[in-house]
Amino acid sequence: MNAKPTIVNESTIEFDKVTYSFQGSSPNTVVSDISLKVNPAETLVLLGRSGSGKTTLLRLVNRLLLPTGGQVLVQGQATSEWDPIPLRRKIGYVIQEGGLFPHFTIAENIGLVPKLEKWDGDRIAKRVSELLTLVGLEADRFASRRPHELSGGQRQRVGVARALAADPPILLMDEPFGALDPVTRAELQREFRSLARRLGKTIVFVTHDVREALLLATRIVLLERGHIVTSAPPEEFLHVDHPEVQAFALSLGALPGATA
């Protein structure tokens, strides 16, 4: 990993007093007054129940949403100042079920952002086969298949490969392994953990699964009803004295302190 200051700057995300409310007939505040800095190369897990605002925070980073108060800074610049297209092409995005294009082959899915970035065909082909190998799929077996011919786990691997295609400094992941069976999920989590440590990307990972958070995170940020409850490294997380933390600890089926 490169430690030059420019690189550090390239992959930093900062939430500065961010509030987001749904506009409309019944305004509804989803997250309020969030201040949070994501450090380069860390895997920050946003943990919370449904409706805690974790996905909203994620979507504020790549400008799928704009904050209604405060600002989100990516590479030191507010997302509202960014042209959304170049911003999003610097940020990999993985969602549940992959969101793969059903009418594209696996190779076309993975090569999409490079193609949008006008790479030449040979370079794209090379990158695609490199990425397939990286996520544990045989390139020549999978490149020309379509998403529906793959299993859920394989599709999710392709989703990760697609997000990494143009080598973005930042990766956003919204419950990427949520729809998988437990065995495949555990397998992908383990592989992803080592991949994340190896690639040195800044990763923001959303989940409601505390076990997954403990496994993957270098830091866990717990959200409750749009507010940050705590921010702690995984080894300290379960010891935090807060009812919501204890609720998540109980969901592990273990007494606080017994795990991690």
Partner 1 sequence: MSPWRFFHEHSAEILEATLTHLTLVLVAMAFAIAIGVPLGLLIVHRPALRNLSLGIASVLQTIPSLALFGFLIPIPFLGGIGRRTAIVALVLYALLPILRNTYVGLTGIDHAVLDAAEAMGMTTAQIMWQVRLPLALPVILAGIRTATIITIGVATIAAAIGAGGLGTFIFRGVAMVSDAVILAGAIPAALLAILADVFLGWLERRLRVA
Residues that bind partner 1 (CB under 8 A): 62, 64, 84-89, 91, 93, 95-103, 112-113, 116, 146, 148-149, 162, 172
The rounded distance, in Å, linking the Cα atoms of 127 and 150 is 20
The rounded distance, in Å, linking the Cα atoms of 145 and 43 is 31
Closer Cβ to partner 1, 88 or 185, answer by number:
88
Closer Cβ to partner 1, 54 or 88, answer by number:
88
The rounded distance, in Å, linking the Cα atoms of 171 and 220 is 16
Q: Which residue has the tokens 């090379």?
A: 126
Smallest distance, partner 1 to C-beta of residue 101, A = 6
Tokens coding 91: 């940020």
Longest dimension (CA), the chain: 55
Smallest distance, partner 1 to C-beta of residue 89, A = 4
Smallest distance, partner 1 to C-beta of residue 159, A = 8
Interior/surface letters 150-176, b for 16+ CB within 10 angstroms, e for the rest: bebbbbbbbbbbbbbbbebbbbbbbbb
Smallest distance, partner 1 to C-beta of residue 115, A = 10
Closer Cβ to partner 1, 22 or 101, answer by number:
101
Give Cβ neighbours of residue 4 (< 8 Å, ≥ 6 apart).
none
Smallest distance, partner 1 to C-beta of residue 79, A = 13
| Sign of the dihedral defined by the CA atoms of residues 260, 93, 160, 95, in that order | positive
HSE-up of residue 179 (Cα within 13 Å, Cβ side):
16
Tokens coding 33: 């007054």
Closer Cβ to partner 1, 114 or 234, answer by number:
114
Length of the chain: 260
Closer Cβ to partner 1, 98 or 234, answer by number:
98
Closer Cβ to partner 1, 87 or 206, answer by number:
87
Smallest distance, partner 1 to C-beta of residue 253, A = 31
